[in-house]
Amino acid sequence: MRIRILALGLAAAMAAAPAIAQQAREKVLRIAMTAADVPTTSGLPNNGFEGMRFLGYPAFEGLVLWDLSATDRPAGLRPGLAESWRQAEGDPQEWIFTLREGVRFHDGTPFNADAVIWNLDRFFNNQSPQFDPQGGAITRARVTILESYRKVDDRTVALRTNRPASYFPYMAVYILFTSPQSFEAGGRDWARVAALPPAGTGPFRLSRFVPRQSAELTKNAEYWDRARVPLLDRIVLLPMPEATTRLAALRSGQVDWIEVPPPDAIPALRSAGFTISTGSYPHVWPWFFQTAQPPFNDVRVRQALNYCVDRDSLVQFLNGTAEPSVGWLKPNDPNFGQPEHRYRFDAARGRRMLEEAGYNAQRPLSFKVMISTSGSGQMQPMPMNEFLQQNLREACGVNVTFEVTEWNTLLQATRSAPGAPVLAGSQALNPSSPSSDASVMTRYFSQAFVPPNGFNWPQFNDPQYEEAFSALERATNEADFNAAYARAHARIVDGAPWLFVVHDLNPRAMSRRVRGFTPAQSWFQDLVRVDIQ
């Protein structure tokens, strides 16, 4: 009997060996995100652009996609689920998209014009059965000018904007498409759909989701672009909001890749053989000022604070993982323009401007800023904000207090009107922002996009900016577009609705086993060509 049991055990072990060997050969990349929770897995993630980076674009796609193939210039656009697009002849408000043939969702159902209209109704039609309040709020805040849409035929859809918008394809990248069958499989309940998880069209598919713990992406071996089938078998995404926790997880081998390592740990990580990836890209870390109310309704106050900030010392404090910001765009950007103010650390000038506005040692400027403990693009928000707090007090006698909150609450605040309860009396906010293109500029600075229509939380209202941006929207050639862009940006610099602090360098650290990652000049990154040894 014992011999028989041993034989059966040996047979079972031999049978299991191929499966174990296969699992051992599986290429799995484990990433620690800065998010405090797993971004929503319903096909349109929350948690800002970090959610889009990891649980958006890898699995779900838009009609237009980011071109992340170049490293020597900011990312542009490439065809996605639409193989081409154009403005309708004689009507600059209508965009015609020709859909790609032969694309299927991960569940095998076809991608076509009906699926496009169904998804647009999900985000933009409150009366549709599939309306998604959370996904709709996020998408509408990014795609602020879509007026209507219609099916032309099975391979063609027309999207109409409420104003001429030369930049509209840059907004179209934020509309992600999910299989309508996913909604039916989830009992027509988006919360249940998120747990399935749902089907997209991307190079990875969502395969597992454990609330507040992890999400997994699996290679889509049948991806429609055969040249871009992933090298990895799986990606495991883990929320780790604390930088020290992410660092410990990397050093211990719990993860292979971490977002935003602590700056003071970077030299030691390099010495230990870890790869540190940084790169200049269009992204800015500011404070938003509420310009509709005192004290920030006085432009002198806003400009003064921009002279009071010691950006170079903050960059040094961050161990070189950022560069000074003196505008929404970088100073070497050809569209930076010619503003009157060229901000630098000049405490004497800042104090003088504050005195002209009525603030001095006897009546110091005091205000509250809402900040987050972590989050998408936030770098090291607690120590960075504490640095600014001390800097402003010592340089210009300004008293700053903080309302510390969670990242998604801060995002909610940016979509709220002045005085909303979520602000808890805050007069400034500290979200970060991409500065990649004019479609982002308009939703942060144009008067039409004050909350809830966009992210112009400061209520910035500058007629010269509006005039320049209108010319940009109607431009039909690159020269006119760029000239208008530069004029509009110069008005943003001089109007100073933000405290321009730094542009981060998108730092991340990874094990030497991670191969093939090349950082694009974008907040979003291409995981398809990443491999692990």
Model pLDDT for residues 472-507, shown as the tens digit of each residue: 999 989 999 999 999 999 999 999 999 999 999 989
Residue 236 DSSP SS3: strand
Residue 162 confidence (pLDDT) above 50 = yes
Task: Decide: 103 and 173 in contact? Cβ < 8 Å.
Answer: no
Tokens of 349: 């000038």
Give me 108's structure tokens: 């095998």
Average pLDDT, the chain: 93
Distance, in Å, from the CA atom of 362 to the CA atom of 365, rounded to the nearest integer, reads 10
Identify the pLDDT of residue 15. 44
Residue 456 belongs to what H/E stretch? Answer: none
- Report pLDDT for 454: 84
* Pair of tokens at residue 199: 């089907």
Instruction: Tell me the pLDDT band of 24, cut-offs 50, 70 and 90.
Output: low
Evaluate whether 403 touches 371 at the Cβ level (below 8 Å): yes
Whole-number pLDDT of residue 440: 94
Q: Please provide the distance, in angstroms rounded to a whole number, between the alpha carbons at the two ends of the chain.
A: 45
Read off the pLDDT band of 21 (50, 70, 90). Answer: very low
Fill in the DSSP letter of residue 458.
T
For each of the domains in the chain, give its residue range(s) and CATH number, in order of start.
26-39+202-280+506-533 (3.40.190.10), 60-187 (3.90.76.10), 283-504 (3.10.105.10)
Looking at residues 246-264, what average pLDDT do you find?
A: 96
Query: DSSP letter at 104?
Result: B
Residue-level pLDDT at 453: 84
Q: Read out DSSP for 181-218?
A: HHHHHTTT-HHHHHHS-----SSEEEEEEETTTEEEEE
Confidence class for position 158, pLDDT limits 50, 70, 90: very high
pLDDT of residue 191: 93
The Cβ of residue 84 has, within 10 Å, a number of other Cβ atoms equal to 11
The rounded distance, in Å, linking the Cα atoms of 29 and 26 is 10
Strand segments (E) across 357-492: 366-372, 399-405, 428-429, 433-434
Rounded to the nearest 10 degrees, the angle between the axes of helix 381-396 and helix 299-308 is 100
Q: Which of 63-72, 103-112, 373-382, 413-422 has the highest mean pLDDT?
A: 103-112
Q: What percent of the chain has pLDDT over 90?
A: 87
| Cα distances (Å, whole numbers) of residue 355 to 288, 365, 435 | 22, 10, 32
pLDDT(22) > 50? no
Per the structure block, which two tokens stand in for 439? 């479609």
Mean pLDDT on 239-264: 95
Q: Is the pTM of this model over 0.75?
A: yes
Q: How confident is the model at residue 20 (pLDDT cuts 50, 70, 90)?
A: very low
pLDDT at position 6 is 34
Convert the pLDDT of each residue in 66-81 to its tens digit. 999 988 888 999 999 9
**Which pair of structure tokens corresponds to residue 361?**
């040692």
Dist CA 208 CA 198 (whole Å): 10
Lowest mean pLDDT among 9-13, 182-186, 271-275, 301-305: 9-13
Closest to 104 (Cα-Cα) out of 93, 115, 120: 115
Q: How far apart are CA 168 and CA 438, in angstroms?
A: 9
Rounded to the nearest 10 degrees, how much is the dihedral formed by the CA atoms of 506, 509, 511, 517?
10
pLDDT tens-digit readout, 186-205? 999 999 999 988 999 999 99
Contact 9, 1 (CB under 8 A): no
Q: What is the CA radius of gyration of the chain?
A: 25
- Are the beta carbons of 51 and 183 closer than 8 angstroms? no
